[in-house]
Amino acid sequence: MCGVFGIYGHPEAAKLAYLGLHALQHRGQESAGIVTSDNQQLVTHRGMGHVIDVFPQGQLDRLAGIHAIGHVRYSTAGGSGLRNAQPIAVNYSRGSVAVAHNGNLTNAEPLREDLEEKGSIFQSSADTEVIVHLIAKSAQKDIVDRLADALARVRGAYSLLCLTERTLIAARDPMGIRPLCLGRLPDGDSYVVSSEPSSFELIGAEFVRDVAPGEMVVIDERGLRSAMPFAAEPRRTCIFEYVYFARPDATLDGINVYEARKNLGRALAKEHAVDADVVIPVPDSGVPATIGYAEESKIPFEMGLVRSHYVGRTFIEPEQSIRHFGVKLKLSPIADILKGKRVVVVDDSIVRGTTSRKIVKMVRDAGAKEVHMRISSPPTQWPCYYGIDTPTRAELIGSSHSIPEINQYITSDTLGYLSLAGLKEAVISARVAPRGRTHLPVHTDDDARGPGETSADGAEASAARPLDHGSFCHACWSGEYPIRFTPAPKKLQLRLLHL
Amino acid sequence: MCGVFGIYGHPEAAKLAYLGLHALQHRGQESAGIVTSDNQQLVTHRGMGHVIDVFPQGQLDRLAGIHAIGHVRYSTAGGSGLRNAQPIAVNYSRGSVAVAHNGNLTNAEPLREDLEEKGSIFQSSADTEVIVHLIAKSAQKDIVDRLADALARVRGAYSLLCLTERTLIAARDPMGIRPLCLGRLPDGDSYVVSSEPSSFELIGAEFVRDVAPGEMVVIDERGLRSAMPFAAEPRRTCIFEYVYFARPDATLDGINVYEARKNLGRALAKEHAVDADVVIPVPDSGVPATIGYAEESKIPFEMGLVRSHYVGRTFIEPEQSIRHFGVKLKLSPIADILKGKRVVVVDDSIVRGTTSRKIVKMVRDAGAKEVHMRISSPPTQWPCYYGIDTPTRAELIGSSHSIPEINQYITSDTLGYLSLAGLKEAVISARVAPRGRTHLPVHTDDDARGPGETSADGAEASAARPLDHGSFCHACWSGEYPIRFTPAPKKLQLRLLHL
Amino acid sequence: MCGVFGIYGHPEAAKLAYLGLHALQHRGQESAGIVTSDNQQLVTHRGMGHVIDVFPQGQLDRLAGIHAIGHVRYSTAGGSGLRNAQPIAVNYSRGSVAVAHNGNLTNAEPLREDLEEKGSIFQSSADTEVIVHLIAKSAQKDIVDRLADALARVRGAYSLLCLTERTLIAARDPMGIRPLCLGRLPDGDSYVVSSEPSSFELIGAEFVRDVAPGEMVVIDERGLRSAMPFAAEPRRTCIFEYVYFARPDATLDGINVYEARKNLGRALAKEHAVDADVVIPVPDSGVPATIGYAEESKIPFEMGLVRSHYVGRTFIEPEQSIRHFGVKLKLSPIADILKGKRVVVVDDSIVRGTTSRKIVKMVRDAGAKEVHMRISSPPTQWPCYYGIDTPTRAELIGSSHSIPEINQYITSDTLGYLSLAGLKEAVISARVAPRGRTHLPVHTDDDARGPGETSADGAEASAARPLDHGSFCHACWSGEYPIRFTPAPKKLQLRLLHL
Amino acid sequence: MCGVFGIYGHPEAAKLAYLGLHALQHRGQESAGIVTSDNQQLVTHRGMGHVIDVFPQGQLDRLAGIHAIGHVRYSTAGGSGLRNAQPIAVNYSRGSVAVAHNGNLTNAEPLREDLEEKGSIFQSSADTEVIVHLIAKSAQKDIVDRLADALARVRGAYSLLCLTERTLIAARDPMGIRPLCLGRLPDGDSYVVSSEPSSFELIGAEFVRDVAPGEMVVIDERGLRSAMPFAAEPRRTCIFEYVYFARPDATLDGINVYEARKNLGRALAKEHAVDADVVIPVPDSGVPATIGYAEESKIPFEMGLVRSHYVGRTFIEPEQSIRHFGVKLKLSPIADILKGKRVVVVDDSIVRGTTSRKIVKMVRDAGAKEVHMRISSPPTQWPCYYGIDTPTRAELIGSSHSIPEINQYITSDTLGYLSLAGLKEAVISARVAPRGRTHLPVHTDDDARGPGETSADGAEASAARPLDHGSFCHACWSGEYPIRFTPAPKKLQLRLLHL
């Protein structure tokens, strides 16, 4: 999982990118990077860690320029390290270009193999490097056409920002898998693009609209214009963003995340009612669903588990094993609330089952008479190939165990998962009235419009089409992958390791 | 504000102290320190920052020993820096001694002046250094008597740990202002002492009982024994610990913090009812009071403000002023919940008023029709001299402005503070049945008992006496200071500054 | 200027590379890097700073493998930063490959332009990246042939190491501009390659021989073999290595550096005799020449200037200008030696003249009656395009000023430069009897030998041919460039900047 | 070993102290510290490491003020750590005071014991803390009298700086064991004090004179004045400063260090002549003695061993033992100079013998036919109690082995130590004509002069008295300790350890 942020035409571009990335920090804490341009030269800095650590004042000051794109990256098992940090910035025949990318390409490996066969070298394992190669190799002249050319060859999920000396382009894959939003600073002509609109709020920008699936938004000295250069595909927005990943204050593709989560809780209460004294969330992500569950079930809501704000990554464990150590570092039960009670615990998902098992024991050790686990999504059974870092099938307890078996393993009294139908309905019910400016003030230079390029208004219309039951990717639960993933050939599996 | 943790007789003393301090991290994030003993020599390490940063693996490994005391310290305006970090550890005539201290002495300055007049030198501005000097200067032979001697001279608030080569002593001031709890590891004879029992939970220790006001608990090779060496004083436990400071999962002096906060919310709903559509907390501390408010008022509870987990101390601001920047970094509104609604916002206190003002604007900007501020305590009007870092009277908006004026300043539609009577009643109503072991297994060596020294059972009885309306310090609201504070004489005001 | 080190077939490959690079630290202090292989996978780590800082124990331990190449890099004005650190390691169609390179290509820019035109991307400004691209694009199958193919297209100076999963290749440009030596660890079959033999001494390896100009030495599981795949060129070994750059304990291409420098001093004394009381070096590089000058002239040698060992790069200067501040930080005069004396100061070169001017003043301020500057090389007039970081012509005082003018500028009483003829003669006179093993034990698989590939013995013969007056590059003094340098086209001049 | 630097009355006091300490870096690399005063408040910063690392720009800027004292500290086996860093700065009854101290007290332990018995606490193991306690406990009113009072009670070696808000005092023990010099900035009234005059050179100050044994120099708003408050003692200046410790560019107490070292070499050549082909130094400290040896013996001088400038403290060793690894990291032989030669190696001392043994082997392995070791001082047999960090007697090879046995151990062909008589004579012969200003412009307020206080002229006269054979401490060779050292009583031996 990752987050991207871009800004065009602002004297404090790097600083606003830094703030925008900070608001996206929940989408990736492993590394962060910013590339700026002053219309003449690209300057880049990337580092491991949180945005605030990667960019001390001095470094921000050196990122001169009025345009910027930035990226935060999630820690994944393989492929960690500075080399895989983004944006990737390179020199090529037409100057310099930088790309930041949220999502995962499904055909990166065959493309990489093909490029290598033709003599390309790869310095990272990021599929973003594939896109940069394709841009550099395109026969087109203009960066807009080169990027369209490159993206026409890739398959999979991408919400992508591309910066050259004088042009910022935002592109979203035709299925609209990952979110991407367009905003504008109130006093002037600075456009901003972000994975989530929370970035806009922080820097005082206004939300304009979501970038449409398959849309390329080009921002340059002529203003903003839009194109739809790719063949249309069925919409397949990642529904897990609403369940877990996005910030609750976000509204993505017209659906309010907080409201969606409350609806999940309400639906869960309907599908899996239970006689209980109290309903508590696994904080922080489970809170809205628990509020919904409480409202629907009339069972009192309590914050029965407290989350520590001070958990670092490399905590030193005592040698003598403390029971449920890892969970205890993060969560503590409020015994006086749980003692003697029948407790419903609401969480968003169960991955390996080990954490849920520890939570159930923690709640029971605190004195709970009964522990009823309620999950606001179906059993996670399939890995995600579109940008969320899930373990292999073998590690997913939902792949190999029935719900009763999982219930037994995590030692809960009862266990209930929300159905896929219930999930979809709940999310769709969180649709909100269109926000943002109705009339996007764009310079639409009709002469400059290439094949398939439409005005921004067209894109806006497309973006405004509301999501329905059929609009989602839910492969992690259903196995119904909208795009087939091609794994790396054997020869590409043991690759250079950058420490 | 600070937190202390001690452990006696455990092969992983430093590591458990590290974990115990981690569970107290909310009581102080500026510096951390641990002193250990292997029965022969004290070893110490202190540093600026969070526990996890101050103690990398190598440093923990070098803290050899089976006893340990540790400290986390809050960032205060003056007196920052490594020099003021605790524990303070020194050599003196009888060997080495280390002291860690939560609270504030009210007569530290005259004592310091007196000590200086007699030729003492001071390397820090911490009042803990005064205590260490008094220990070293005591005419008594034994550390227990020396500490009692020293504490007999100081006035004010202290929950204090003292470690020598072979002895750990925990002491609490006669008014019992700051909390201090005693625990025990299940498998063996290791005793633990902590500002809050959350430390016990994390390391798998069981809660034994609160240390009684005026009690000294001595742990050495003879086991644990208790003494009450000081003249009795009326109990004056800080009631603000329940409102804001302590962790919600703690039960301190027989009162459950979470339940107390819910009660505050209920009482607030009764005292300041309002017709509204939604009630939201200022997270995280305001959540339980808001749940209580919602329960009592039947107004739906929502998490209308989201708190960021990634806010660092030295955030770089853009030069162009972003409205309400500081608050925006920490909090974001969920517009879809607030739009068009009459919103009750529950917070625990208003200090300068600037943050509340920003929050009200943020909620209103998100579309709220009405914003009703509710504070789960009375107006803060007086500085705390017993260990909580409050600004001067001049900066406290409650000192100089009436409630209607504050309401106007923070631009809320209505503003309601909980009354002091309501606050006391709410907190007392959160008394819980006594927890912990009834029979504390102590070695009570009657012959060794000095004057005023009682058996542990006596102390336990005292500790078990439940708090009532008269048991609290509430000077920050009432100005009724239980102990007068003596400020530094002019000549002690411009002191050495350690960078 | 840079240094390279390689080792094949040793269980502590990374550690020995680390030590080897340490012994080459004088050739580059800006960045350091090591790539290892365990026969299956390459692992790489690079960082800014000295070898000892870039590779803490943990990082060395993670560099698993039995083969390694490493690099130290000099700080240059442009093109600084981690991106330009070496070795460059990439994935390509045949697996992974890493290249470390000392020297400078003269046709890197046209090659880069050509590669970009064909769609290549460049992530650094190092010409090493050009070589890696050429390797990856070669139509040959085997890495040896691919590298030969790539090197056949480049012009300029290179002493280069190339590592794949199972093969280490050392190559030296046909003119033999930069040094490269072959060694062997005594107990076993581990071969080592290094810019200078000082690395061998430190790790206990024995010197075998210099790599011959135009030679490729291939080390793999079949053993060591040699090839001469390139068209022969006249030998043009950089003579400045003997004057200044190489360590005095090195013998490069059969010439002992220390002895060469002493000869320079002797020749200087003959060419520019002067009546004086004492001759002193500018330490440390000027010491041997000064000893030679003293021997020849019979003027007593003294260490009249002391060099500080503690000069860091980013020294904070006082705002009030201290006279000759920079030089004073590095050098201090011994007044009692200089007072009232006629002093000869011997240095190896004058670049901008500012430092010499400060030194003359410093010596005079210390009481010297006369100051006679003697330079153990001719006036530096031309930039080096083959790997030494010299300023532009405009900045070289020797380009624009006559010797009398320079003498006037640096305020010396007399100034004497060594003649080019004298320099050549002095260096050649330092030829030593061939060292190293006479019979190199190589596996010479005649069937495996490609076109142009010869046995190691042939290469040895070539390497053993002694240098003569015509064997050197002395372009920095004479302007006689053996290979023309092609500068970057205008469009490649403003490139991506990596902070 | 340590270095001290002080400056009074300069707007860039902290920066000049930083430079001054840099010039004294050879006297201590473990920690560094500076205390400044703006006439009202002392500000202090100390840290582990080199001056350049401890004081980044920001930290220097925060050290506001016009007076400063600073300290660099040598790494000693026990007692390392930030706690022992200097200056020590404290608050006491009269304000704040800071002390920086080079030397070692011989009665620190009984004084400490006495102070502890009277109730003092000690936060470090530095004897400087004893001095500060004595200052604070003095019955005198003025800081000058308090310091005199304190120093009257201590015995041993000290060259000490003391800073209060408005006064800088420099004091030197009555035997004048460690050096201390007075200087002045040319443009204005800023006085500077330093362990060695090299500091003056760097910042552009002029040398005024040495501080006299037993002298206190007081600098305040009234100007500079001098006092001799202590009972006179025979002069016992550390002669090892001339042999090894001081910078060769220094002139201390009228003796030029470089010239003294050359004289040592000449005397050594006379005492221990040998038929040889070349004489080489162990760099860098052995160079001047070797030049002297060469001059006297007519054997050619060569730099046969090269010293690396890049040796860090925590070098990672390979697991397979490399012969003479530690020495090889630091020194490399120039084989072509040594091969087949009879070599004289000149060093300043032999401590444990292990390093000399490695050097002899290194020279022999490089091809030397004979190796003759010559030491420019007598065998080191006794520990120093006056500030030089020597090992215990048991570890000193000179304590337990005869010279022939040492010769055998270090495997040299012959070994010759300089005699004590020869050493004294050599050092005395390096006396130079008095430098500095003859007429020190001091404000001599006769009324303000206390008992024993003389005018600066008197002190100057005393300082100018030239050293003779009887003026030195040479206890490390002769065991003739001028002051008896009182070790710590048993109960003070196991003390608090600060990590």
Q: Do A18 and B316 touch (CB under 8 A)?
A: yes
Do residues A305 and A282 touch, judged by C-beta distance below 8 A? Answer: yes
Query: pLDDT tens for residues B108-120?
Result: 999 999 999 999 9
Question: Helices C108-117 and C127-137: crossing angle, nearest 10°?
Answer: 50
The maximal CA–CA distance of chain A, rounded, in angstroms, is 74
User: Any idea which fold B2-233+436-466 has?
Assistant: Glutamine Phosphoribosylpyrophosphate, subunit 1, domain 1 (3.60.20)
Q: How many CB pairs under 8 A join C and D?
A: 149
List CB contacts (< 8 A) between C63 and chain A.
499
Question: Please, how many CA atoms are within 13 Å of residue B239, restricted to the half-sphere of its CB?
Answer: 36
Give the residue from C249, C277, C358 with the most D CB atoms within 10 Å of its CB, the best one to mutate. C249
The arithmetic mean of pLDDT across residues B317-327, rounded, is: 69
Class for domain A255-307+323-426, per CATH? alpha beta
D255-309+324-426: CATH architecture: 3-Layer(aba) Sandwich (3.40)
Cα distance between residue B338 and residue B332, in whole Å: 12
Flag if D133 and B121 touch (Cβ within 8 Å): yes
Residues of A in contact with C44 (CB under 8 A): 496-499
**What CATH class does A2-245+434-492 carry?**
alpha beta
pLDDT < 70 stretches in chain D: 75-80, 311-317, 319-323, 434-464
A40–C494 CB contact, under 8 Å = yes
Q: Across the interface, which of A41, A59, A133 has its CB nearest the CB of C121?
A: A133
The CATH class of B255-308+324-426 is alpha beta
pLDDT tens, residue by residue, B155-185: 999 999 999 999 999 999 999 999 999 999 9
Q: DSSP assignment of A271-309, as one string?
A: HT----SEEEE-TTTTHHHHHHHHHHH-PPB---EEEPS
Superfamily of segment(s) D2-234+435-467+482-492: Aminohydrolase, N-terminal nucleophile (Ntn) domain (3.60.20.10)
Of residues C448 and B480, the one with the higher pLDDT is: B480
Q: Do chains B and A touch (3 or more CB pairs under 8 A)?
A: yes
Rounded to the nearest angstrom, the minimum Cα separation between A365 and chain B is 11
User: Whose CA is closest to B201, among A340, A362, A371?
Assistant: A362
Q: What's residue A74's pLDDT?
A: 83
Q: Are B410 and B373 in contact (CB under 8 A)?
A: yes
The label of the residue with tokens 């007075």 reads: D182
Q: How far is residue C133 from each of residues A123, C463, D105, measured CA to CA in Å?
A: 11, 30, 67
CATH number of C2-245+436-492: 3.60.20.10
β-bridge mates for residue B102, sequence order = B159
A495 chain-C contacts, CB cut-off 8 A: 41, 91, 96
Is the CB of residue B259 less than 8 Å from the CB of residue B198? no
Q: Return the active site residues of A.
A: 2
- For A:62-121, CB contacts with B below 8 A are none
C333 exposed, middle or buried (CB, 10 Å; 0-12, 13-18, 19+)? buried
Quick check: bond before D87 cis, omega within 30? yes
Q: Find out whether the peptide bond into B348 is cis, omega within 30 degrees of 0.
A: no
Q: Do D41 and B497 touch (CB under 8 A)?
A: yes
Which ipTM value was assigned to this complex? 0.89
pLDDT of residue A168: 98
**Could you list the pLDDT tens digit for every one of the 499 residues in chain A?**
899 999 999 999 999 999 999 999 999 988 999 999 999 999 999 999 899 889 988 899 999 999 999 999 986 544 567 878 899 999 999 999 999 999 999 999 999 999 999 999 999 888 899 999 999 999 999 999 999 999 999 999 999 999 999 999 999 999 999 999 999 998 777 999 999 999 998 898 999 999 999 999 999 999 999 999 999 999 999 999 999 999 999 999 999 999 999 999 999 999 999 999 999 999 888 999 999 999 999 999 999 999 887 765 455 666 666 666 777 888 999 998 999 999 999 999 999 999 999 999 999 999 999 999 999 999 999 999 998 887 888 889 999 999 999 999 999 999 999 999 999 999 999 998 766 544 444 434 444 444 444 444 444 445 557 899 999 999 999 999 999 999 888 877 778 888 8
Task: Residue window 271-310, chain C: list those with CB within 8 Å of chain D.
Answer: 284, 287-288, 291, 295, 300-303, 306, 308-310
Any CB–CB contact under 8 A between C48 and chain A? no
Q: Are the beta carbons of D202 and C332 separated by less than 8 Å? A: yes
What are the boundaries of each domain within chain D? 2-234+435-467+482-492, 255-309+324-426
Q: Rounded to 5 degrees, what are φ and ψ at D234?
A: -65, 145
What average pLDDT is seen over chain B? 89
Using 50, 70 and 90 to split pLDDT, how confident is the model at B77?
Answer: very low
Can you give the pTM of this predicted structure?
0.90
Return the partners of chain B (3 or more C-beta pairs < 8 Å).
A, D
Contact between chains at B322 and A288 (C-beta distance less than 8 A):
no
Chains C and A touch (3+ CB pairs under 8 A): yes
**What backbone phi and psi angles, to 5 degrees, belong to D429?**
-65, -10
Pairwise CA distance, residues B198 & B181, whole Å: 10
The verdict on A136 touching C (C-beta cutoff 8 Å) is yes
| DSSP annotation string for C165-193 | SS-EEEEE-TT--S--EEEE-SSSS-EEE
Contact B40 D494 (CB under 8 A): yes
Is the CB of C310 less than 8 angstroms away from the CB of D57? no
- Cβ of C51 and D248 within 8 Å? no
CB contact set of D60 (below 8 Å; sequence gap of 6+): C316, D14, D15, D18
Mark out the alpha helices in D315-419 (DSSP H runs).
325-330, 335-338, 354-365, 397-400, 403-409
Nearest Cα residue to B48 out of D429, D82, D452:
D82
> The tokens of B359 are what?
């929050």
CB atoms within 10 A of CB B221: 10
pLDDT for position D454: 46
Predicted confidence at residue A312, as pLDDT, reads: 55
Give residues 347 to 406 of D whose Cβ lies within 8 Å of C.
none
% of chain D at pLDDT higher than 70: 90
Q: Which residues of chain B are within 8 Å of residue A22 when distances are taken between CB atoms?
A: 308, 310, 315, 329
Whether residue B320 and residue A291 make contact (CB cut-off 8 A), yes or no, is no
- Is residue C446 within 8 angstroms of chain D, CB to CB? no
Rounded to an integer, the average pLDDT of B440-469 is: 52
Distance CA C492, CA C122 (A): 11
CA distance A211 to A161: 12
Residues (pLDDT < 50) of chain C are: 77-78, 313, 437-461
- Locate the chain D residue with the closest alpha carbon to B134: D119
Q: How far is CA D304 from the centre of its chain?
A: 28
